[in-house]
Structures are given as C-alpha cells and as structure tokens.
Amino acid sequence: MPRRKSLVTGGAGFIGSHLVDALIDRGDDVTVVDNFRTGRSEFINQKAKLVSHDIGDVEFLRESFEGIDDVYHLAANADVRNGWDDPRRDFDLNLSKTLSVAELSAAAGVENFIFSSTGSIYGESVMVPTPENSSIQQQTSLYGASKYSCESFLGAYAEANKFKVTVLRFVSVLGPRYTHGYVYDFIQKLSADPSRLNVLGDGTQTKSYMHVSDCVNAITDLRGPSNFEVFNIGRAETITIRRSIELISECLKISPELLFGSSPRGWIGDNPIILLDITKAKSLGWNPVVSIEDSILDTAKWIIKNPWVFKDV
C-alpha cells in the first residue's frame, strides 16, 4: 500500500495522540491540527507535522488539507456533563467546527473522513445492548445532540459523494494520557481528600468502557463497503460506577467513604445504562482485547505516575 497522507484533528489530545502514534508506526505521513484547548504538547509524536491552529479557521487550514487521503476528525469538546453551563459550546466546538473540517476535506478531495462519535447519541435506548440501526427517540444532552448532528451533516456529505464517511460511536475510552472524565475526576478528588468521595448519581449507573489501544485499532482499521458506515465501538461488558471507584481506591491504597446521590442519573442527560452491540465491528475483524477492569487500573496507574496532568497547561 502506498504511504497514506493522514490528518488528525485533536492529535494532541488523549485518543488523538495515540492514533497519531499508531498511524506513524504503520508508515503514514501524518499532519496534526490542534488548538491546544485541551490537547497537550507532551503527547505529540515528534514525527508528525504540527499545525497549531483552530480547526474553525477554514482559510488558514486550506493548504494543510491539500493532498490528504484520510481525515481523522477527533477534535471536540469532550465534556458531556456540563453542557448547560454554556448552551452554545457543544454547538460551536463540536458541530460548527466539524462542518469546517468537512468543507476543507471536500474541497481537498479527501477520500476518507473518519469521525469520532459517541454512544451517548442513543440517549436512553430501549434496546440494550444497542445496535447501530436502533431507533433513536430523543437526544438527552447537548453533547449528544451536537455529535448526532455531526453524523447527520456527514450523512449528507456522503450522499453527495464528497468523501466516504466512517462514524465510530465510542463508549468512554480509558488508558494512558487520559485527562478528563470519571476516572480522572475521581483520582483528582481522592488525591486531594483520600477520606471521602462525593459521587454524582446513586452509583448504580452501568457503563461500558474501553482501552484506548482497542479504540485506536478500530479507528485505523475499520472501513465498510458503503459511502456512509456507522460502527459501535466498545466492549460487550459493563461496570458500575461503584465498582470503578473500588478499583481506583485499591490502586491508590485508600478506603474512602463514598457519598452517593439519590438518582440513577449523575446529571441531566446522563444515561443510566450504556452498552453497545459491537457485532458489526467484530464481523469485520475488530476485536477489543483489554478488559474494563484492566483499562481502569491502567488509567489510574498512569495518572498516579503523571500527577502533572492535574495542573492547568
């Protein structure tokens, strides 16, 4: 196979930086575009060409997209919980900027547009495990709404033959370089006060997590036959929030008092159960290998070894 020219938005972020490493390992010529809103310069592969710029600036980036084969669009606001603090944030950072990347990709004649979506778009699904073609009744968070809207517009781009679209709907991803979300928050709070932990929701929320190495394999390898392909990417198992905290506590060698809320939802738009049906991705040869418990332990160990991640950049 000739050397692919790949462009990764959010390539200085958690998943993006691992993806860049994998693409460079397999021989791709990689351009990273990142505005360092949440990305970290420490994560960037030195063999990548770095464009430190915001993806919303279409004119500035036009040249960077010239000759690109594959666009991996990972840049996003990844904070699903606090959407109502600023109701335009998900719209601006996720949807509007995804359309900028789509415009740039279409103009440059990009072949593949790979988009990182989320299992959150299923809302409170009636089918669990949830397959890709299940009926979606209502978005429950601005984050989910913004990601699902990206999928909608990318569908129109695919229909108009602008490029091939691969949508990957991830469960929460864990592993080294993880710098936001549940496990991060728990470790941060428990480092500050090992005696107790306030938990959003009643602890029974049942989530599926996956390791970033399995996630990256899906991003690099999964392609389907049609112009618009959607894949669930996760694990066929779940874990409760309560059990996640037990594992982290073991790792930290502490026994905190846990103070739970009363609701099965941790916040407005939290989905009590996330478990994706990954049959379609597996049928094309993708197979996640790291268990949820090992993913949590790997993440906790990395954060404990890298306490600098708690400092603002």
Give min distance, CB of 154 to a second copy, in A.
8
Give 27 or 109: the residue with its C-beta nearer to a second copy.
109
Place of tokens 């790997």: 298
Nearer to a second copy, 83 or 181 (CB): 83
Per the DSSP assignment, residues forming a β-bridge with 207 are 239
For a second copy, give the closer residue by CB, 141 or 220: 141
Closest contact distance (angstroms) between CB of 268 and a second copy is: 5
Residue numbers at the binding site for a second copy (CB under 8 A): 83-84, 87-88, 91, 95-96, 99, 103, 106, 123, 133-142, 144-146, 148-149, 152-153, 155-156, 158-160, 228, 268-269
Instruction: Decide: 111 and 161 in contact? Cβ < 8 Å.
Output: no
How many secondary structure helices (H) and strands (E) does the chain include?
A: 10, 13
**Distance between start and end Cα atoms, the chain:** 39
Between 166 and 249, name the residue whose CB sits nearer to a second copy: 166
Work out the number of other CB atoms within 10 angstroms of the CB of residue 269: 20
**By C-beta, is 128 or 254 nearer to a second copy?**
128
Beta strand extents in the chain (DSSP E only): 5-9, 29-34, 49-52, 70-73, 112-118, 164-170, 172-174, 196-199, 206-207, 209-211, 228-233, 239-240, 257-260
Least Å distance between CB 165 and a second copy? 9
Q: Minimum CB separation from a second copy for residue 143, in Å?
A: 8
At its nearest, how many Å lie between a second copy and the CB of residue 22?
28
Residues 6+ apart with CB under 8 A from 59: none
Question: Using CA atoms, how far apart are residues 125 and 230, in angstroms rounded to an integer?
Answer: 17
Nearer to a second copy, 85 or 257 (CB): 85
Q: How far is the CB of 116 from a second copy (least distance, A)?
A: 17
Rg of the chain over all Cα atoms, to the nearest angstrom: 19
Residues whose CB is less than 8 angstroms from the CB of residue 185 and which lie 6 or more positions away in sequence, other chains included: none
Helix H or strand E encompassing 103: helix 97-108
CB of 81 to a second copy, least distance (A): 12
Q: Is the Cβ of residue 133 or residue 279 nearer to a second copy in the bound state?
A: 133
